[in-house]
Amino acid sequence: MPHENSYHIEAAGSGVVTLVLTGRMDLERFGDLTGLIGAIFDAHSPSKLNVDMNGVSYLDSAGALFIVRLEDEARRRSVVFALSGLSREKMGILSLIDRDALTKPSLAPRERRMNVIEHLGVASIAAVRDIYDIMSFTGELMCEIGYSLTHLQKVRWGDVVSYMKKVGVDGLPIVGLISFLLGLIMAFMSSLQLKQFGANIYVASLVAVAMVRELGPIMTAIIVAGRSGSAFAAEIGTMKVNEEVDALTTMGFSPMRFLSIPKVIASLLTVPVLTIFSSIFAIMGGLIVGVLGLNLTIFTYIQQTMKAISVFDIVSGLAKSFVFAAAISAIGCQRGFKARGGAAAVGNATTSAVVTSIFLIIVIDSTFAIILHYV
């Protein structure tokens, strides 16, 4: 016979109180039941508490927890506690509850909220440690590259080719599109000004010099950082989190050589090529504005472009992109190897790879600007 979910409290004289429970005692009712504990003890202040569970049709672990709490409260107030009407099976549920577990303190402290100064301190220490980590990783990477150059047959060329495709071939459409639009916009904006002086032809010079020396390498590097640096970090990070990197180490591989070298070599080979394409696409964008908007012929535009850029410009731009490639791929790998924990750690590694790469790109570019100034 199913009982209604209900209870009533019978207070006989001499402080004996009986709590009669009926119906289902489950998680859904847990909130109502726990509210009852205070009510019984405060309103009736019993000396003996009987709990009659004859009418209980269903008891799950939440219901059992309520009984345990009731009993604990009774003990705390030195009230005699008696339970009746429980089948052997239901007693089984009750015995599952480990009283010590309910009060046992956590073995690890809860994460504390830090105040501003603590934050600042922790962040500073992390930043310094990070620089140290990157430097030691770079050192290790250099050694591995040195090793690879002397043991060319040990390089995993199959991986190199597949990463070259991912970084270069697959990246070309987006690099091309963005560069083309960049050239178009640059030419258009500058033409508005230069037209006033009749200096239309210098639009070609401006686009060519700006792209080949500065924007081509930087734009390409930023796109590669977003596309491939992040992918490297996510790939290695996931392997790290899944203990795959440990497995490599155990099998006697150098994870660095196995995972980083192909990515770094592929980037070093493809990013400069992407940079060349980037400049070419931008010049094509500028050419369209020049021909359609400024009445230049294709021939004069290209001639002016050739005149504006020197071999030195091209070489310095490519050298820069070579260094960018090294930085992006190395940071991607380093962030991946540093990932620890779970899925969130992989996400953090990816973000950090992109942010750090872009920061380094700017730093490297400034350094080049100063060096080239004195060359």
Partner 1 sequence: MNSTEPVIKVEGLTVRYGSDTVLQDVGFEVQPGEIFVIVGGSGCGKSTLLKHVIGIETPAKGSIWINGTDTSALDDVELRTLRMGIGMLFQSSALFGSMTIGENVALPLTEFTDLPMKDIESITRMKLGMVELAGYDNHYPSELSGGMKKRAGIARAMALDPAMLFLDEPSAGLDPVTSAELDVLIKKLNEGTGTTMIIVTHELETIFNISHRIIMLDRNAKGIIAEGDPRILRRDSDDPRVTDFFNRRVTEKKTKG
Site residues, partner 1 (CB under 8 A): 26-28, 30-31, 34, 58-62, 65, 69, 89-93, 95-98, 100-102, 104-111, 241, 340-345
Q: Are 226 and 355 in contact (CB under 8 A)?
A: no
| Beta bridge partners of residue 238, listed in sequence order | none
Nearer to partner 1, 139 or 341 (CB): 341
Angle (nearest 5°) at CA 342 between 336 and 348: 50
Task: Give kind and range of the element (H or E) at residue 9.
Answer: strand 6-11
What is the rounded CA–CA span in Å between residue 112 and residue 65?
29
Shortest gap between Cβ of 125 and partner 1 (angstroms)?
Answer: 22
Q: Are 25 and 59 in contact (CB under 8 A)?
A: yes
Shortest gap between Cβ of 340 and partner 1 (angstroms)?
Answer: 7
What is the rounded CA–CA span in Å between residue 124 and residue 68?
49
What is the rounded CA–CA span in Å between residue 16 and residue 352?
66
Nearer to partner 1, 225 or 239 (CB): 239
Shortest gap between Cβ of 342 and partner 1 (angstroms)?
Answer: 2
Shortest gap between Cβ of 336 and partner 1 (angstroms)?
Answer: 16
What is the rounded CA–CA span in Å between residue 167 and residue 148?
21
Shortest gap between Cβ of 43 and partner 1 (angstroms)?
Answer: 21
Nearer to partner 1, 108 or 370 (CB): 108
What is the rounded CA–CA span in Å between residue 71 and residue 361?
66
What is the rounded CA–CA span in Å between residue 241 and residue 248?
13
Nearer to partner 1, 94 or 314 (CB): 94
Nearer to partner 1, 97 or 209 (CB): 97
Nearer to partner 1, 121 or 342 (CB): 342
